[in-house]
Amino acid sequence: MPGSRTGRPPVQRAVRRPAAPRPPRENPVLTLYLRARRAWDRPLTAYYLILGGSLLITVLGLVMVYSASQITALQKSLPGSFFFRKQFLAAAIGAALLLIASRMPVKLHRALAYPILAGAVFLMALVQVPGIGMSVNGNQNWIALGGSFQIQPSEFGKLALVLWGADLLARKQDKQLLAQWKHMLVPLVPVAFMLLGLIMLGGDMGTAIILTAILFGLLWLAGAPTRLFVGVLSIAATLGVILIKTSPNRMARLQCIGATDPGPGDSCWQAVHGIYALASGGLFGSGLGASVEKWGQLPEAHTDFIFAVTGEELGLAGTLSVLALFAALGYAGIRVAGRTEDPFVRYAAGGVTTWITAQAVINIGAVLGLLPIAGVPLPLFSYGGSALLPTMFAIGLLIAFARDDPAARTALSMRQSRFGRKRGAAGSAATREPRRWNTMRRRASAARSSGER
């Protein structure tokens, strides 16, 4: 090798290595989707969805009841907050019922099925006794409790059918009797038809539709054959057509589907003004409390048509938020019913989810002009303590079932033990370990010898 001019060996240059290829950029949409999917699959997702969704719906419902009911209260020479105070009291009692139901074991829920059914049947029969039952808006389905307080026993009939039907089907499944059609139908269908008959004696077809939806939900979860399912559905549809055809009021409601004009005699006044309220809200509404339709134009603004006032004051954003909360609640209920191995939990969770989802669809569909006005409230949202109390107890059922899932129970116990260690570590200074700091300066100081300065 030839030397350089200075006599030193030449310096060899380092060989350049090819640059490492850059990792491909992550798709932010795909990353967000994967994170959301992992979040949905966590054990406590259903628990938090049910608890948070129901709480948000109830709180937003209280706000909208206060806004929508002020004019109605003043027109009746009552304080502007009259209906809000009653709804707030019902929500407080319902919250206590929700907490109790969420802490009760499944065995106790099953034990309460028969007493709740017997009490609901007794009260629904008591409604038809002259001097005890009272009529509201043409329906004889109420009992006066004194003063301005009333109770609608048919609302508790929904909870009774869910609990009793779930317990009945679970016991028959344990004995492997559901493969026979007579054991699947009897006595579930006769008892459901008895409740429907007591409700229809008062003329409340809206609640009867919800009860029918619960019945079909239980049969579907029990694995009813298609022929059996279609047969029962045909009988219910035939009875429904007869009841509609024989009632001019129900026929008039059916003719108001999609109406844009009040029509002769203002027969479609409520349906049309509900559409007017939604149309005038725009994207973000006219502002909380600024509804025009609630000033006497829209009947039942704080009960059956509170969703229309929500659309007028909070706009499309508000209505979509309500729909999203109900969708999350329905998804969580389906997830609880689908992941459990306890047949009672599956039937009860599916029945409650069918109840709340079907009632929300019927109420919102009527406000949008897609379904006939059935006179059912929006669950957890509309004014009415008789509807709010059993619904919140049913939400407590779903929370208890979500907590009872093995994976969720494990996650909750790990979280509680972790929090317990933190609380115990902060208890006494004599027993706790020396606190370790993770700052760079502390670690560097600890690494030096005692003589270094």
State residue 278's pLDDT score: 95
Supply the pLDDT for residue 246: 85
Buried b / exposed e along 353-392 (16+ C-beta atoms within 10 A) = bbbbbbbbebbbebbbbebbbbbbbbbbbbbbbbbbbbbb
The stretch 54-83 carries a mean pLDDT of 95
Judged on CB neighbours under 10 Å (0-12, 13-18, 19+), 406 is exposed
* Cα 148 from chain centroid (whole Å): 28
Identify which has the larger pLDDT, 3 or 58. Answer: 58
pLDDT (mean) for 320-339: 95
Residue indicated by tokens 């795909």? 30
Query: Would you place residue 15 in the very low, low, confident or very high pLDDT band (cuts 50, 70, 90)?
Result: low
Note the pLDDT of residue 16. Answer: 64
Q: Are 271 and 369 in contact (CB under 8 A)?
A: yes
Place 424 in a pLDDT band, splitting at 50, 70 and 90.
Answer: very low
Pick the more confident residue, 148 or 294.
Answer: 294
The letter for the amino acid at 327 is A
Q: What are the φ/ψ torsions at residue 133 (nearest 5 degrees)?
A: -75, 155
Span 47-74, average pLDDT = 96
Percentage, residues of the chain above pLDDT 70: 86
- Give the mean pLDDT of the chain: 86
pTM, whole model, 2 decimals?
0.84
Task: Supply the pLDDT for residue 440.
Answer: 35
Q: What percentage of the chain reaches a pLDDT higher than 90?
A: 60
User: CA-CA distance, 24 to 69, in Å (whole number)?
Assistant: 57
Summarised one tens digit per residue, pLDDT across range 102-113 is: 999 999 999 999
5/151: higher pLDDT: 151
How far is C-alpha 326 from the chain's CA centre? 5
pLDDT at position 420 over 80: no
Per-residue pLDDT tens digits for 279-319: 999 999 999 999 999 998 899 999 999 999 999 999 999 99
The 3-class secondary structure across 324-391, one letter per residue, is HHHHHHHHHHHHHHHHCCCHHHHHHHHHHHHHHHHHHHHHHHHHCCCCCCCCCCCCCCCCCHHHHHHH
With a cut of 50, say whether residue 441 has pLDDT above it: no
Task: For residue 287, report the phi and psi dihedrals to the nearest 5 degrees.
Answer: 110, 145
Burial readout 233-264 (b: 16 or more C-beta within 10 A, e: otherwise): eeebeeeeeeeeeeeeebeebeebeeeeeeee
pLDDT for 9 equals: 60
C-alpha 173/C-alpha 305 separation (Å) is 41
Which of 46-60, 64-78, 326-340, 438-452 has the weakest average pLDDT?
438-452
**CA-to-CA distance for 408 and 79, rounded, in angstroms?**
46
Over residues 226-239, the mean pLDDT reads 84
- Per-residue pLDDT, 51: 95
* pLDDT value, residue 313: 97
Q: Does pLDDT of 380 surpass 60? A: yes
pLDDT of 134 above 80: yes
The residue-averaged pLDDT of 236-260 equals 87
Residue 115 burial (CB count, 10 A): 12
Through-space distance between the first and last CA atoms of the chain, rounded to whole angstroms: 52
Q: 241: part of which helix (H) or strand (E)?
A: helix 226-245
Nearest-Å Rg of the Cα atoms of the chain is 30
**pLDDT reading at 432 higher than 50:** no
Q: Between residues 414 and 376, which one has the greater pLDDT? A: 376
More confident residue, 236 or 83: 83
Tell me what the mean pLDDT of segment 356-381 comes to: 95
pLDDT greater at residue 148 or residue 247: 247
Residues 6+ apart with CB under 8 A from 214: 158, 161, 162, 165, 192, 351, 354, 355, 358
